[in-house]
Structure 1
Amino acid sequence: MNSSPSDISLVGRLPQSWRQALGPISVLWVATAAGAVMAFFTQALLARKLGPAEFGLFASSLATLSMAAPLAAFGLPPYWLRLYGVEGWRANRWLGPSLRFITGSTLLALSLVVAWAYLGATPDAQPILLLLLPVVLGILASSLISSQLRLEERHYALALWQLATPGSRMLVAALLMLMPALDSRAAAVGFSLISLLLAMLALPQLRAMMRGGIRLRGHGPRPADLSGDESPSVAHLWSQAWAYGMEATLYPIFFQISTVLLKYLNGNAQAGIFGIALGVMMAIYLIPATIYQKFLLSKLHRWAAHDPKKFWSAYRLGNFAMLASGIVVGAVLITVAPWLVPIVFGEKFRPVVKVLAVLAVCVPLRFLSTAMSSALLNEKHMRYRVLAMGASAVIAIAFNAMLIPTYHVMGAAAATVIGEASLLLMMYLGMRHFHVRRAA
């Protein structure tokens, strides 16, 4: 007997391209949710054991390392997506100068952290910063491998790699709970050991990639001979990739500067309260980051260069979906935070509830700005994105400096909302400038 139309599954009625994407997206969504849960429980375990002041010291030090870590790759992972999306297999010629560039930029990032530890940090933060130095290597390895897996469209492997850092950190946090007297130094050692292990695991795969062993998808079979392609100089690579590097460097400053400023302006306890709230927001922000940076970005580069109609269709759908889901997630956050935070983190962290009520406004702002920025992909667009991110970071820093001394942690929350709103406005203005006016 023939099936009626009502018997046909919803999935079966979707376009073939959507059905093909559903599996990888679902896996990445599950990995994102699992990673967010792991990061959440890692924070909960450490916060309960350390208390607001000691956790604030650890969180602000880790935020400092997270702000310095993007200097190590300085935007090369997203720039690779651009190169391979446009050049295909010929982009292998950029791998040699990339390796030399990464070596120098990593040494620079480590040197800057050491210099800050000795010249600018408070005495209690100095040893934590030095112990956390290997975190830079772990973040570098994670970003490089993630870009390779996206280029190869190995979404299931990407999902597993995406879980490596939060999963291992949660394991370390659980093991640290067995220590009778845990402090921030022990937590720093645990996180650093995990970072070194991840870097070592990534090294063989990165070595193979740098030798041209990438299995590129979406550009046909590998040409028999690529030896005739001229390898660019490191200086030429810098001239092309600096905008990607500046954006990658400015983003963690924009996102995490409030925690660091709270530590230095109001003390460790205030930084600990805000660090918990920011950790929750970081887990939520993994949703648009997974969709765009880990699944769509390499495809968007390819579609922008070779299939503009498909590119703009994905862009319009993404804007609507991100705004709607951001509003829903923000509302859920406001609803569940009052009873979930005390249960998970303890009564000492109840002030986090008020902070999250303010930061919930950031959820639809961030979701929509992520979707809008997906239309700003080429070198000219990236220069604008750098200016936009830099201006938003300056706005966030300025409002933090003005509001924290009087309003403390709530001032930092308000400054964060203002920063996110300014970033969304600048992404909208950039979209209008580069695309809407030109199309009119």
Structure 2
Amino acid sequence: MSLKKKLASSKNKNILDISVLWISQFGAVGIAFFTQLLLARILKVEDYGSFTSAINIVTILGGAAAFGAGSNWLRAFGVEGWKAHRWVRPTIKINLIIASIVIVGLLVSTYYMSVSDSTKILTIIFISILLSLTFSTAAEAVYQLEEKYQKLSLLKFSVQGLRFLVVLIASFIGANLLFIGIGYAFGAFILIYVYFRIIKRLYKRKVELKGHAPYGNRTINDIPSIKTAFKYLLPYGSTIVFYSIYFQSNIFIIGLMSGEESVALYNVAFTILNVIYLFPTTFYQSYLIPKVHRWGENNEEKMSLLFKQGSKIVLTIGIIIMLAVAGCASFVVPLLFGERYAEASLILMLLSITIPFRLLCNNLGSILVTEKHVVKKAYYQMTGAIVSIVLNVVFINLWGVYGAAFATIITEFIVMLLFIIGVNSYVPAIKNHKWKNTKKFTNLLLVTTLLVVYYFYVLSNNVTTFGFFIPILVIGLFLIYSLVKLIKNDLIISVKKLLL
């Protein structure tokens, strides 16, 4: 086969892999979203808040117990090849140790939490979900190392598929909150069994490691101790924990300070944002990260393209989505979730401001995920976690559930700035980047953010005077014109350079 044909075949495979991931993710997102719709409609607002609080707690703790196992395997095998198999056994031991400590701590602390009895009972039931999350990323990493994206997609889809099945049955038979909780727990046990079977294949070296020769009969020595492995896992484990804290802890804090009803309102907006975030997250975590680990070692050109072209793409897309979400929130939320959740539309409007920040962080964070820079990424996300907790406590006390939205906006902005500084300061391929080329993108982001804030002010104060909506209309039309021009002149070219 000629070089030209090989390149064409490689490009087609890349497009096919991305398409498979996104199509399956679209199905998973659709089911996850519809599951939340059903939950919000069949449960009381307080019960939905209790359910959300409980699953939020175990999700954060499950991420802590996983401690970056999957990410570390991707890093280790990307750099060391089959020699990285030495990290598998100690990593699993560390996961089991941390999970045990977390579960004991959760059981003890749940008794003293100032939350409803329903939240406490569900939290205990959802320990099985905590365990499934402990090993989910490790199992997914096995398929990523093999580049079996169809199986990876099915694995991710099954999580939401099982939950949807439980809620669907509950809606037909009129089951209560406890039935749904037990159903979720049963689904988690099924996933734990599947995850262990997948991890066992890697443990026994019965996998096809992409980009490396078959295992053969080679001997792997130098098995690290638990202490050594923990130090190796620490940077990636820290990023997962800190990310979970600044991304999700506000729901837990809202529950403690404002009650389950406020949690339910915030979670409706949070659910819609999660639908949006899953698409870029799938692309970066499932498809791009394994490649970035290889590029970080020997391909500065690809890293430079990922920063320059990738940042343009995500900022443009982020601004478009922010405008769409903010513009539609006031009538979409009541239409989907019912009038009792109408207030969530204002929360969603505020949170839409974070969309460009988060998408840019996804892009920059993928660059900082390599072994050379992951410690810096952990420090940046630790800063975000601290800022998030402090701001949430202060702002929720001042403005209730809206305070949590303002705290999220500021936290996401600070983390984005830290990522920009880190990439520009420490990644060799990007140090000489000319920032004047991005001025039009940042100006557009600023104008769009101010427009959304103004729109929130108008709606939250029940202003109906037509004069207040004229600036929104004029600036909105200007932004649409600017975005169309930007897509034509920059976005299409950037996509071609990055993906092809």
Q: TM class by shorter-chain length?
A: over 0.9
- 1:6 aligns to what? none
The structural deviation recorded for 1:309 is 2.2
Residue 314 of structure 2 is aligned with which of 319, 322, 326?
Answer: 322
Deviations 1:188-246 (A, max 9, x none): 21211111111112222222221222211012x22433214321112111111101111
- 1:369 aligns to what? 361
Deviations 1:21-57 (A, max 9, x none): 1001011111222221111111110111113211111
- Please tell me whether residue 210 in structure 1 is matched to residue 173 in structure 2: no
Give the residue type in structure 1 aligned to 2:40. Answer: A
Question: Which runs of at least 4 in structure 1 moved beyond 6 Å after TM superposition?
Answer: none
1: CA distance between counterparts of 2:96 and 2:57?
21
- Please tell me whether residue 258 in structure 1 is matched to residue 250 in structure 2: yes
2: CA distance between counterparts of 1:226 and 1:136?
36
- Please tell me whether residue 239 in structure 1 is matched to residue 231 in structure 2: yes
Residue 153 of structure 2 is aligned with which of 154, 159, 181?
Answer: 159
Given that 1:315 and 1:374 are in contact with CA atoms closer than 8 Å, whether structure 2 keeps it comes out as no
The structural deviation recorded for 1:16 is 5.1
The structural deviation recorded for 1:80 is 0.7
**Secondary structure at the counterpart of residue 308 of structure 2:** helix
**Secondary structure at the counterpart of residue 374 of structure 1:** helix
- Please tell me whether residue 94 in structure 1 is matched to residue 94 in structure 2: no
- 1:393 aligns to what? 385
Give the residue type in structure 1 aligned to 2:231. Answer: S
- Please tell me whether residue 337 in structure 1 is matched to residue 329 in structure 2: yes
- Please tell me whether residue 201 in structure 1 is matched to residue 213 in structure 2: no
- 1:58 aligns to what? 51
2: CA distance between counterparts of 1:117 and 1:68?
13
The structural deviation recorded for 1:348 is 0.5
Residue 69 of structure 2 is aligned with which of 51, 73, 76?
Answer: 76
Give the residue type in structure 1 aligned to 2:161. Answer: G
TM-score, normalised by the number of residues in structure 2: 0.81
- 1:168 aligns to what? 162
1: CA distance between counterparts of 2:265 and 2:308?
37
The structural deviation recorded for 1:139 is 1.5
Given that 2:142 and 2:198 are in contact with CA atoms closer than 8 Å, whether structure 1 keeps it comes out as no
- 1:302 aligns to what? 294
- 1:226 aligns to what? 218
Give the residue type in structure 1 aligned to 2:233. Answer: A
2: CA distance between counterparts of 1:365 and 1:439?
21
The structural deviation recorded for 1:349 is 0.6
Give the residue type in structure 1 aligned to 2:248. Answer: Q
- Please tell me whether residue 293 in structure 1 is matched to residue 282 in structure 2: no
Deviations 1:65-96 (A, max 9, x none): 11110122211110111101100121112112
**Secondary structure at the counterpart of residue 365 of structure 1:** helix
Identify the range of structure 1 (202-211 vs 352-361) with the bigger mean alpha-carbon deviation. 202-211
**Secondary structure at the counterpart of residue 190 of structure 1:** helix
Residue 137 of structure 2 is aligned with which of 122, 125, 143?
Answer: 143
1: CA distance between counterparts of 2:220 and 2:252?
49
Structure 1 residue ranges without an equivalent (≥5): 1-11
Residues 146 and 438 of structure 1, relative CA distance in 2, 3 Å threshold: closer
2: CA distance between counterparts of 1:165 and 1:99?
21
Deviations 1:302-331 (A, max 9, x none): 121133323332333322221122112222
Structure 2 residue ranges without an equivalent (≥5): 433-500
Identify the range of structure 1 (323-332 vs 387-396) with the bigger mean alpha-carbon deviation. 323-332
1: CA distance between counterparts of 2:74 and 2:204?
17
Identify the range of structure 1 (224-233 vs 353-362) with the bigger mean alpha-carbon deviation. 224-233
2: CA distance between counterparts of 1:258 and 1:439?
35
**Secondary structure at the counterpart of residue 210 of structure 2:** coil
Deviations 1:316-368 (A, max 9, x none): 33222211221122222123322221122111111111111101111111000
Given that 1:67 and 1:253 are in contact with CA atoms closer than 8 Å, whether structure 2 keeps it comes out as yes
- 1:349 aligns to what? 341
1: CA distance between counterparts of 2:31 and 2:399?
31
Give the residue type in structure 1 aligned to 2:415. Answer: L
TM-score, normalised by the number of residues in structure 1: 0.92
Matched-pair identity in %: 26
Residues 437 and 201 of structure 1, relative CA distance in 2, 3 Å threshold: closer
The structural deviation recorded for 1:376 is 1.1
The structural deviation recorded for 1:123 is 4.7
- Please tell me whether residue 358 in structure 1 is matched to residue 350 in structure 2: yes
- 1:26 aligns to what? 19
Given that 1:60 and 1:275 are in contact with CA atoms closer than 8 Å, whether structure 2 keeps it comes out as no
2: CA distance between counterparts of 1:398 and 1:433?
28
How does 1:428-439 map onto structure 2 within 5 Å? 428-435=420-427, 439=431
Given that 2:307 and 2:430 are in contact with CA atoms closer than 8 Å, whether structure 1 keeps it comes out as no
- Please tell me whether residue 107 in structure 1 is matched to residue 104 in structure 2: no
Residues 47 and 23 of structure 1, relative CA distance in 2, 3 Å threshold: same
Residue 120 of structure 2 is aligned with which of 116, 126, 133?
Answer: 126
1: CA distance between counterparts of 2:288 and 2:307?
10
1: CA distance between counterparts of 2:252 and 2:319?
28
Report which structure shows greater RCO (CA 8 Å, sep ≥6): 1
2: CA distance between counterparts of 1:42 and 1:261?
24
Given that 1:369 and 1:423 are in contact with CA atoms closer than 8 Å, whether structure 2 keeps it comes out as yes
2: CA distance between counterparts of 1:110 and 1:296?
33
Given that 1:67 and 1:256 are in contact with CA atoms closer than 8 Å, whether structure 2 keeps it comes out as yes
2: CA distance between counterparts of 1:15 and 1:91?
32
**Secondary structure at the counterpart of residue 178 of structure 1:** helix
Query: What is the number of residues matched between the two proteins?
Result: 426
How does 1:172-183 map onto structure 2 within 5 Å? 172-180=166-174, 182-183=176-177
2: CA distance between counterparts of 1:228 and 1:88?
11
Deviations 1:84-129 (A, max 9, x none): 1100121112112122222212212222221221233535122111
**Secondary structure at the counterpart of residue 229 of structure 2:** helix
